Each structure stands twice: as structure tokens, then as C-alpha cells.
Structure 1
């Protein structure tokens, strides 16, 4: 009876080892995906971060990058801990899983909270950012972001083209008589912003709604990725606990 029990426990341990190994393989791939989403957000979608008064959007992306790197390292550690059957390594692995779980939950929560606050923030700050910082010395990132925003989304100003009447730069001699920046023009040529006719500029299209929709879509992606991977990790932590309990206590 005793031999049967020991054999049964051994088989259970083997099953747990392979389950945890399979989990780690997919977990490692998921870590690459999480890191890629965070890096993609920062590298390709960061142009408009300078137009936001809050750093929450970029913070969620940085959290995903860090979590992704740690996930990939943890996946390798998990494989080593599983096949070497070292309880101390399993403890470290479990702690890392828990830390990553918390990081991804935080990223998901931040994305959700900022998703709710984004509309209010843009309404309160976008016009001021565009009119006060455009073409201002030291604010080259804002200038570049505004020009790209207006061209990419075919819009002009925060609410509409009349917002530019309050612009410090438009009122200055440097604007050379422009009524709006040249990036408001449907076809950009030098000084095309002098003519604000609907045939020339995106006269009725404000940028605020389009920027809001753009960022909200990416916040959804960040939130879904963070929460989804965190939920999957619960299984990894359960497998780790079960394997830890099934192994004999190491001598010290």
C-alpha cells in the first residue's frame, strides 16, 4: 500500500512538472507579447504623449515593458526550478509570479482609470497646450505632435480651426500672417495656413475627439493585455504551489 502511494505521488509530481513546464513556455511567449505591446506603444504611439497633461498613459506602457522583461526571465527560472525540483527556486519563482501579477493588474487598473478620465483631461488641457506651446522654443515635441495630429487625423485645432486665433505663435510676426498652422491644410505648402477657406483647411474638424478615440483604443489594448496575462498567471501560481508541496523538504 505504501509503495502504491509513493508511486502515485511520483506520477502526480511528474504531471505537475510537465504542466508547469508547458505553462512556462507559453508564459515566456506571453512575456514577449506584453513587452512588445508596451514597446510598440512607446515607440510608435508616443508622439501624442507630449499633448497629455498626465503621465498615466506612458506609465502603463512602461509597466508593461518592465513586466514583459521580468516575465521572460521568470519563465526561464521557472523551467529550471521545475526540472531541478528545487524548492528554494520554486519559492523565488512564485514570488516573481506574484510581483508580475501585481504589476499587470496595476497596468490594467491604470489604463481603465485613465480611460475614464481622458475626455475631461483633453477638454481642459488640449486647447491650451496647442495654442500656448506650439512653435515655442523648447517645446519642439509638442510642435511635432500637433503637426502630426492635424495631418494624420485631418483636423485643425482642438475643437475647430478658430482655436488657433488664441495661439501665441499665430499672433506673433513669426507666423507671417497665417491664420492656422500649415499642418491644418489639406495639401501642405509654405504659408498655406494664411487661407482658412474650407477648400484649403480642415475647417470644421477638431482634433480632440479623434485624439481621444485614438488613445482610448490603445488604453483598451493595454488594459486587456495586462489583465489577461495576469489571469493566466493564477494557474501558474497554483501549479507552483502544488509542485512545491509535492516535493520533499530539502535538507539544510
Structure 2
């Protein structure tokens, strides 16, 4: 009777452990989906502005999140197989993968946080130079498109203000055709609209692009950092909890 009761208890514990692992695996997949989604969303929404940044840290952080999220798909499948087949070696591999993903997500979060601290200084030193020296220059088509999109999306003109364009290589050149600002500064873009820099025509009183791009990137760096570090810590806690069980 005692032996039978013991066997029933062990069977009940095994079933509970299986369900616990399945629930954990589902939560793990959900966290991975969030990480993957944030990584893809960051690159898709901000890919147009990456050429304006001196550092590749922003893109690297997003790529790391995408890598971590992709690993979750594989690791989640491994976890399901381990639970169904009750293979201890497979479970050990599963937990090692969890540790690897934890470290990857943590790195992405830390990178995003560190870059967030340096973002303002980088934009102040780099953005104005990039816009005035590379806009509409040979071989700089990606920067030209990025600047035009930046000025239209954020309703801004120049890095600090519209007067910054007076020092640009493009405005001083013959192809500018006497423009004082690029046409992308105009509230309504028509050919040669940049010849007139009145506030009714261009984004002159709305401010420069540095502060707006900085806020835009900073908000998303905070999201990357929070998702990377937050999900990593949650996964670490769940991993420890399951090991204890």
C-alpha cells in the first residue's frame, strides 16, 4: 500500500512537472516573440536613419535582439521535445540554450543603455557634418534620402536650424540652382521650393532635426534596453525556478 501510494505520488509529480515545463515553455516563447518583434520593428522603422549615425551600436542592438528571438523558436521546440520524450540530456541542452539566450538579450539591453548615454553627444558632433558635407553628393544617395525623409517626417530643417544649410556643400554648388535649403525642408514639396526660406514655406520655426531625432532614437533605445534586460532577467528567474522544481 505504501509502495503504491509512493508510485502514485511520483506519477502525479511527474505530470505536474510536465505541465509546469509546458507553461514555462509557452511563456518563454511569448518573451522571445516580444524580443524578436522589437528587434524587427526597430530596424524596419529606423533603417532609413541608420546612415546618419556615426556608430553602428543602434543597429547591432536590434540585430542581437533578432538573433535572440530567433533562437527562442529553436529552443522552444527543443524544450517541447525534451518534455515529451523525457530526455534528461535534451533538457540539459535546453537549459544551456536558455542561459545563452539570457546572455545575448542582456548584452543587447546593456548596449542599448550605453548608447543611449552617448546618443546626444554623437548627434551634436556628427549629424550637422553629415548633412552639410554629404547631402546630394556623389555616392551619398543613402544619406541624401535619409536626410530628406528625416526633414519631412519630423517637420524640421537643418541639424540645429535652417541656417545650417547655408554652410552646406550642396547649397553652394551649381546643382542647387540658387536654393537656400533643400526642397525637403518645404511644407509642400514642389520643384525649387527651397529657393524661398520664409516660415510659411519651410519648417523654419519648428526647430532643427537634432533634438527631434535624438528623442525619437532615445525612446526606442529605452524600449530595446528594457525588453532586452527585462526579458533576460525574467527568463533567468524562470530557468532557476524550473531547476529548483
TM-score (normalizing by structure 1): 0.91
* Matched ranges for 1:1-252 at <5 A: 4-5=5-6, 7-204=8-205, 205-242=207-244
Q: CA deviation at 1:2?
A: 5.9
Aligned length: 243
> Residues of 2 paired with 1:116 and 1:3: CA distance?
63
> Residues of 1 paired with 2:242 and 2:196: CA distance?
67
SS of the residue 2:208 aligns to: coil
> Residues of 1 paired with 2:53 and 2:3: CA distance?
67
Q: CA RMSD in A?
A: 1.6
- CA-to-partner distance for each residue in 1:123-165, whole Å, 9 max, x for gaps? 1101001111111111111111100111111100000011111
Q: Which deviates more from structure 2 when the two are superposed, residues 188-197 or residues 220-229?
A: 220-229
TM-score (normalizing by structure 2): 0.94
SS of the residue 1:168 aligns to: coil
Q: Is the 8 A contact 1:94 1:240 kept in 2?
A: no
Structure 1, unpaired ranges of 5+ = 244-252
> Residues of 2 paired with 1:220 and 1:6: CA distance?
51
Q: CA deviation at 1:235?
A: 3.6
Q: Is the 8 A contact 1:20 1:239 kept in 2?
A: no
Structure 2, unpaired ranges of 5+ = none
